[in-house]
C-alpha cells in the first residue's frame, strides 16, 4: 500500500509492506519537516502500532482509563482499500503507541 497523507499543510508519503501478519510502515515526511525529524534524540522508530477490531471501543476504554491520548478522536486516513482509523497514545515510558483499524 502506498498513499499520501496530510501533515501541517503539506503531503507526506506512507508505504506499508506486509508479510503474513506483520506490517512495516515506512513514511517520508514533507521536506520542510525533515530537518526537525533528523534532530530527534529518541531514535528512528517513531511508534509501534497494533491492529484492533473496533477502534472506537479501544479509544473509549483507554480514554476512560486515563491514558494520555494524542488525538481528540480516531483519525481517518485513505489508506488501504476502504481507509483506516487510528489514534496514538503515550505509554508509561513516553513511547508512542498507535491503535489502528482497517475499514
Instruction: Give the start-to-end residue ranges of the domains of the chain.
Output: 1-41, 47-103
State the chain's mean pLDDT as an integer: 84
Q: Is the pLDDT of residue 12 over 90?
A: no
Task: Please enumerate in sequence order all residues whose Cβ is within 8 A of that of 89, keeping only pairs 6 or more positions apart, or say none.
Answer: 62, 67, 68, 69, 70, 96, 97, 99
What is the value of pTM for the model shown? 0.67
Indicate the class that CATH gives domain 47-103. alpha beta
CA distance 29 to 22: 23
- Which pLDDT belongs to residue 37? 66
Residue 93 has pLDDT above 60, yes or no: yes
Amino acid at each position: 500500500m502506498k498513499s499520501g497523507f496530510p501533515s501541517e499543510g503539506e503531503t507526506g508519503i506512507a508505504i506499508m509492506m506486509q508479510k503474513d501478519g506483520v506490517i512495516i510502515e515506512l513514511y517520508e515526511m514533507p521536506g520542510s519537516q525533515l530537518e526537525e525529524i533528523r534532530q530527534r534524540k529518541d531514535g528512528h522508530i517513531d511508534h509501534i502500532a497494533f491492529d484492533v477490531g473496533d477502534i472506537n471501543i479501544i479509544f473509549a476504554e483507554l480514554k476512560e482509563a486515563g491514558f494520555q491520548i494524542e488525538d481528540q478522536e480516531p483519525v481517518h486516513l485513505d489508506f488501504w482499500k476502504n481507509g483506516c482509523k487510528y489514534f496514538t497514545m503515550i505509554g508509561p515510558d513516553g513511547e508512542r503507541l498507535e491503535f489502528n483499524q482497517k475499514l
